[in-house]
Structures are given as structure tokens and as C-alpha cells.
Amino acid sequence: MIYTDGSVFLLQGRTYGYAIRVLGNGFLQHLYYGGKVSRCDLGLLAAMGDTTAPGDDINMDMAFDGMPGEYGFFAHGDFHDPTAVFVRSDGAAVSRLRYKSYRIYDGTARVVGMPHVRKADKTLEITLKDDFSDVEILLNYTVCDDSDVLVRNAVVKNMGKIAVGVKKAFSFCLDLPNGEYSMMRLAGTWGRERCPETAPIAHGITRLQSLRGASSHQTNPFTAVMRPGCTEESGECFGIQLVYSGSFAITAEWSRNAQLRIQGGINDVGFEWTLNGGEELVTPQALLTYSCGGTGEMSRSIARFLRDRIIDPKYAYSPRPVVVNNWEATYFDFDNEKLFPIIDTAAELGIDTFVLDDGWFGKRDDDRSGLGDWFVNEKKLKGGLNTLIDRCKSRGLKFGLWFEPEMVCEDSDLYRAHPDYAITANGVQPARSRNQLVLDFTRKDVVDRIYTAISKILAENDISYVKWDMNRSITECYSSKLPPERQGEFMHRYILGVYDLAERLTGAFPDVFFEGCAGGGGRFDAGALYYFPQIWTSDVTDGYERTKIQWGTSMCYPLSAMSCHVSVCPNHQTGRTTPLFTRGAVASLGAFGYELDLSKLTEEEKSQVREITRNYKRIQRLILDGDLYRIIDPFTRDYFCEAVVSADKTEAYVVGERVLCIPCDYNRYVYLRGLDPDKVYEIEELGVASSGAALMNVGLLLPKTADFGAWTWHLKAVEK
Ligand code: GLA
């Protein structure tokens, strides 16, 4: 809901309120963001706002620094990190933004060329005008009445005739009072993506960012800003998340006045965008999620929002294929003879789709050559893809294929014909990573070329699944086709090129399911989810490490977005051995599949795989539709436990794991969460029936297992 009397704007979602007002001198003041307030509270909020409003003689005033704002400006008495910086033709970068107009319309804001919220109830658009230039800033606030997510972005417009240089243009600025907050960030590296780390926000600037051209393994474009006392289950926090897959920054600045300013958007390091007269720059959307039920409630609100409004509705709640992927089974070393038995066994074990990973194209027997040559290597795969596809079909399986569209190897036909397609700065030795270079996706002709090659394969073959990988960070950031004054646009233009290709491929092949991937989970973000309903969570598939990776990822992504596979033991990445049941149970908390040579399993293992797959198909509805309750944190305890509960609370699925056994660690209880206290639930594995209240308050004894042993409980509400 959006209410206004022309000077105060009150936005309301499911449980939050957000208030802004236009001061008499035209400045836009942030009044409030938190639990729901009503129209009758606006007088109180305005009176509180009076204490931070700048005085009437604004030319005398240095008070902008203390005014909670909606979009900070630069070099005019606001000494925070600016939200945007734009430079006039005479070099002056001073700005002072004042309210010009507003409008409220149905639906979501227009975000051309970038992933965005697909549907919403209402949008408030406020236009600000710079006192010293022809720049206008449009601030968009999109609300959904049944959600705790408020969507924001900004559009920078040059309303004059002379070009303006934009050096920074963040998507939003949010000021919260009482500066003592903690920040949860999702930090990591390859194989240890998205580990939650919480620390008090200190004075000065705290900055989360990626400069890698992708949202990155190292820092996810998400943070939870938590009020004192906020825990997983209670207290207030604000989730801040970008719908963006490129180099980003999110900053939190605690300044002398007891105020915390949070901002974020396209990374401004090295950024510069020329806006000619009449042009505009649209910034990525940011999702602001309010929770008064701790980080757990925040995650559930975000997961619901992403499924309802960002992920393609055709796939968001649809059962996902259970895949077997051949990467860890064969790596590059395969031919039909090696793949047929995997396909045949997959069919026997109830698996739906066979995905052929890296190595099927060009000359690609290792990672030194071939990327860019998207045609079948018939020496390796006799009869081409059709032989494999026919084999799949004859066994009732669908077929999926791996691509790495953005990359090229120097040893490839594509590179030999078009060396200029690769990003190589003039006279600068390109940094190599995994023996590959990045294609210059700022160039439409390069994107067109890759589109043509990939769409040919998809059009000519019966392919139902694509795994889109991206295996290195971007360096050099230079396009030979951009003029010198536009080189600062490179990183953002690159990701726009990626989105363009994704938009065209998913549009042309709506029945193909696209899975995202970036050397494991290096581009796992809300922008990527717009095109890829699920993303490979990590290259590490170890049955214990995955509890941590998936726990962290679930902070701001739904379970159904996380591709989770069962692989062999000893695990290829950690060398650890965990029971097959454990690997299956942990992988069942996501979009499930296998990553091993099924034909090498013993008969006993096969029957376990059959059972694990059957169990997954049975609980998949909960993974797609349900709400996650994180119960025991594997980062701080020797156990892991999570429960997924159906929206109507009639069903739940619990997965637990014991890490290392602790001697004499008897009588430990797990307290379930998210159940209806008044319902009676039958627990299939335990043969008991108890009220939701008892299961949450009295708890259940943690099962005794060996190291890395897991358990699952299926709960169903029964008549009392
Ligand atoms: C990346 C992916 C893997 C696999 C390989 C292939 O590392 O994360 O799953 O596809 O590339 O080269």
C-alpha cells in the first residue's frame, strides 16, 4: 500500500512501514523504516524528523550530513560517501538534489535490459532535480502488500543537451537510526561459498564488494543489517540484496551522528558512464527485506519473494528434473562407451535427465583448448549428440548440455579467427585463468556470434536442460570497441551483454531449463535467478561441507534455487568419506541430482540410490513450496539440522547430521521449529505422534549415529 498527502509518503508491506517526507525547502527526508506504522503516526514521525531537518537558509547550512536521506548527494554539506556522483562539462561535481514531483502507478518499475521484479502491486516514483546541473534522479519504490520486501532502484537522467559523466550511481540509500548494528555478510571462496559472518558495524565505512565482473564466490551481493539482540529466531533485521550479477558494492557507514547509512549498487571503482543529453542510466534493483522475526523470518520472506516475483513463473514452483551429471564421473575423458552405462543405470534408478558436462565440443580433452567452439567433437562422440540423445530417449531420460558462453581459449577456432573478440587491453598482457580468456560481451557482434552458435545446437538437438557455466573472473576490463571516455562503462556493459544473451536464449527456447553455474557458486545472486531457476551451489559436494554451504546460501535464496548433487567417496574435493545416506539427505535440501558414475555402484548402493531418489521425489513439493527453518548451525555446533515446513503446516521434512561423535554426549535434544503448536504430527521414522507444541518445546532426542551420520524425519499432521 502507498499513501501520500503530497508531502509525506507512507509505504506498507506485510509487516513493515517506510516513511519519507518532502521538506518545505524541497529536500527529501527519510523518516522511518521498521515495523508497521499507520497513517495516524505520521505526525509523530514528522516531529521526530524535525530535529534532523536542515534549516531554512540552505546556503548557510552544513546540516545535510545529519539529515536521514533517500539519495545522498555530493560535496554540498553531506559528507557521507555519496550515493551518486555526476560531473558537469566544466568539471564541477557538486550536487544538491531536491524534490520535483511524484507519481504512483500499478505494477513494478521499468528496468530495461536487466533482471527485475516481474510483478508487484504498486510503485512510487519520486523525481529529484539537481540544483546545479540538468540531472534528474528518479527514485522507484515498489511494494507488494503480501510481502516484506521493498524494491528500490534509481534512474539517473540527463535532461540537458550537454553530456554528463556519471562516476557513481548506486541503486539506493537507506539511513537507519541508532547506529549500533551488526552486519551479517556471506563471505567465502571457491568451494566454501557464502559462509555467514556476523560482526558489529564499526564507525567509518564497511564495504562489501566484487571487482571480478561477477557477483563472486568471495562476497555475495547481500547483507543482513541486524539490530542489537537479533538472532536466527527473534529480533529485527533488514536484508539488503541486489538483483545484479556483476561487480557490485554494498556499503554501511556509521557516522558521527547516531545514524547508519546503507547504500549499494553497481561498483563505482573504475566506473564512469557518459550520459549524453536525453539519456538515462537505470540502476539495478535492490531488495530491502524487513524482519521482526530474526534472520530466519528474513530468509523465508526473501525465499518467498524470489520464487513469487523473480524466478521464471514457468519453473519457480515446478518439479525439477533429477539429473545425473557426468563431470565428476569422467571429467574430460569420455566417449559413448563410457557414457552409455551411466545413462542406462540412471534410467534404472529413477533419474530423469542426463547432463553432459564440459568436453563435448571443439578440441577439448583438457582445459587448455576448445572454449568458444560450440560444435560437437565427433571424434570423441561418434555420431554426434544424437547418438547420446537417442540413448537417453530410449531409456526414458531427457538430455542436458554444458556451455561456457562467455569464454574462449586461445587454442580454438574462434580465437584464431577473431582474436579481437577476447578482452585484452591494448598492450597489456592478459591475465590467464584456467587457460581461458573472457569474450568481450560489451560488443553486440560477439554476443550475436555466441547466440548463433548456441541456438544452432539447441535448435538442432532435443535438449531440455542447459548448464551455463562461467569459470573465471574478468581482468583487464577494456574493450577495443569502446571510445576512451567510455572504458569505465566496461564492467556494467559486460553484464548487460550476459543478460542480453540469457534473455535471448531463454526467450527463444522457453522449454529448455537453464541452470546457472560459475566455477561452482561464483554467480549465485538474485539477478542470475531471473534466468536460471536453479544454480550450481558449489563445486564442493562433500556431505559435511555442503551443510555449511547450503546453510549460508539459504540466508537469502530459496532451497529450490540450490543445485545439490550426490557424489562419490572419498570426496574429490576434500578426500572425506561420508555415508551415501548422508550425502543423499543433505542434497535432498535443494534441487537434487547425482554427480558420479552410477554404473560403478554396487547393487547395495544402487538400491540405496533408488531409495534416496524416491524419497526426494516424495518431498520435492516441500522443497519447491515450503518454508525453511534453520535449527542447528553447523558453523558453531557439531550438528546440523534444518526443517522444511509446508505453507499450511500440515507436513514437514527434517534433515539432521552429526559431524564428529562426542563421547558421553547423551541426551541432546533438537527443538523443531515452524510447526503448528496445535496440530498433532506423526513422525514416520519414529512411529510417534506428538503435538507441534511438544516437538518445539520438549524436543526430540538427537539420534545416535557414527561420524557424519544423518537422519531424516517425515512429519505429517494427523487428526487429533
Ligand atoms: C566448473 C563447474 C563444474 C564443471 C566444470 C567443467 O568448475 O563448476 O561443475 O562444470 O566447470 O569444466
573 alpha carbon to ligand 1 midpoint, in Å? 13
521 lines ligand 1 (CB under 6 A): no
How far apart (Å, rounded) are the C-alpha atoms in residues 585 and 550? 12
Question: Which residues sit opposite 106 in a β-bridge?
Answer: 122
402 alpha carbon to ligand 1 midpoint, in Å? 9
127 alpha carbon to ligand 1 midpoint, in Å? 45
519 alpha carbon to ligand 1 midpoint, in Å? 5
Task: Quote the distance between the C-alpha of residue 355 and its chain's center.
Answer: 23
Q: Catalytic residue among 148, 373, 469, 525, which? A: 469
| Atom 2 of ligand 1, nearest CA residue | 519
Residue 539 falls in the annotated catalytic set: yes
| Ligand 1 atom having least distance to the Cα of 467 | 10
pLDDT of residue 669: 95
Spatial strand order in the sheet of 2-4: 2-4, 8-12, 16-22, 28-35
327 lines ligand 1 (CB under 6 A): yes
Task: Give the closest residue to 408 by CA, choosing from 400, 399, 397, 417.
Answer: 417
How far apart (Å, rounded) are the C-alpha atoms in residues 281 and 111? 10
| Atom 1 of ligand 1, nearest CA residue | 519
Residues 609-624: pLDDT tens digits? 999 999 999 999 999 9
Give Rg (Cα) of the chain.
26
Question: Which residues sit opposite 323 in a β-bridge?
Answer: 353, 593
| Ligand 1 atom having least distance to the Cα of 402 | 10
633 alpha carbon to ligand 1 midpoint, in Å? 28
pLDDT of residue 51: 87
| Ligand 1 atom having least distance to the Cα of 434 | 12
Candidates 328, 331, 357, 594: which one to mutate for ligand 1, based on the most atoms within 8 Å of Cβ?
357
52 lines ligand 1 (CB under 6 A): no
Task: Give the closest residue to 80 by CA, choosing from 55, 92, 103, 63.
Answer: 63
Task: Give the closest residue to 165 by CA, choosing from 75, 95, 98, 85.
Answer: 85
539 lines ligand 1 (CB under 6 A): yes
441 lines ligand 1 (CB under 6 A): no
595 lines ligand 1 (CB under 6 A): no
Residues 13-54: pLDDT tens digits? 999 999 999 999 899 999 999 999 999 998 999 999 998 888
524 lines ligand 1 (CB under 6 A): no
- With 0-12 / 13-18 / 19 or more C-beta atoms within 10 angstroms meaning exposed / middle / buried, residue 636 is exposed
Candidates 539, 562, 596: which one to mutate for ligand 1, based on the most atoms within 8 Å of Cβ?
539
pLDDT of residue 720: 79
328 alpha carbon to ligand 1 midpoint, in Å? 9
How far apart (Å, rounded) are the C-alpha atoms in residues 632 and 641? 5
Evaluate the omega torsion of the peptide bond into residue 321 and state whether it is cis, within 30 degrees of 0.
no
pLDDT of residue 63: 67
505 alpha carbon to ligand 1 midpoint, in Å? 21
538 lines ligand 1 (CB under 6 A): no
How far apart (Å, rounded) are the C-alpha atoms in residues 30 and 44? 14
> Strand 465-468 and strand 513-516: pairing?
parallel
517 lines ligand 1 (CB under 6 A): yes
pLDDT of residue 238: 98
Distance of CA 7 to CAs 24, 154, 332, Å? 9, 20, 64
193 lines ligand 1 (CB under 6 A): no
| Ligand 1 atom having least distance to the Cα of 539 | 8
Cell readout for 113 is 535490459
pLDDT of residue 3: 96
**What is the residue-wise DSSP string for 678-720?**
TSEEEETTTTEEEEHHHHHHT-EEPPP-STT-EEEEEEEEE--
| Ligand 1 atom having least distance to the Cα of 517 | 8
How far apart (Å, rounded) are the C-alpha atoms in residues 159 and 86? 13
403 lines ligand 1 (CB under 6 A): no
3-state SS string for 457-524: HHHHCCCCEEEECCCCCCCCCCCCCCCHHHHHHHHHHHHHHHHHHHHHHHHHCCCCEEEECECCECCC
pLDDT of residue 76: 76
| Atom 4 of ligand 1, nearest CA residue | 327
469 alpha carbon to ligand 1 midpoint, in Å? 7
- Non-local (6+) Cβ contacts of 218 within 8 A are 187, 188, 189, 210, 212
pLDDT of residue 61: 59
Task: Give the closest residue to 481 by CA, choosing from 417, 427, 407, 421.
Answer: 421
Contact 190, 517 (CB under 8 A): no
73 lines ligand 1 (CB under 6 A): no
| Atom 11 of ligand 1, nearest CA residue | 519
Cell readout for 571 is 570426496
297 lines ligand 1 (CB under 6 A): no
What is the dihedral angle through the alpha carbons of 477, 482, 484, 486, rounded to the nearest 10 degrees? Answer: -80
> Strand 513-516 and strand 639-645: pairing?
unpaired
Candidates 331, 517, 567: which one to mutate for ligand 1, based on the most atoms within 8 Å of Cβ?
517
361 lines ligand 1 (CB under 6 A): no
538 alpha carbon to ligand 1 midpoint, in Å? 9
pLDDT of residue 256: 66
Q: What are phi and psi of 668, to 5 degrees?
A: -95, 135
pLDDT of residue 59: 67
| Atom 6 of ligand 1, nearest CA residue | 358
141 lines ligand 1 (CB under 6 A): no
pLDDT of residue 142: 98
Residue 469 falls in the annotated catalytic set: yes
pLDDT of residue 78: 84
349 alpha carbon to ligand 1 midpoint, in Å? 24
CA 678, 679, 684, 688 dihedral sign is positive
323 lines ligand 1 (CB under 6 A): no
358 lines ligand 1 (CB under 6 A): yes
101 alpha carbon to ligand 1 midpoint, in Å? 50
Which portions of the chain are predicted below pLDDT 70? Answer: 58-63, 256
pLDDT of residue 60: 61
Q: Work out the end-to-end distance of the chain between its first and last CA atoms, rounded to an integer number of angstroms.
A: 40
519 lines ligand 1 (CB under 6 A): yes
Q: Catalytic residue among 175, 358, 539, 625, which? A: 539
> Strand 280-282 and strand 195-200: pairing?
unpaired
| Atom 12 of ligand 1, nearest CA residue | 358
521 alpha carbon to ligand 1 midpoint, in Å? 10
Task: Quote the distance between the C-alpha of residue 338 and its chain's center.
Answer: 35
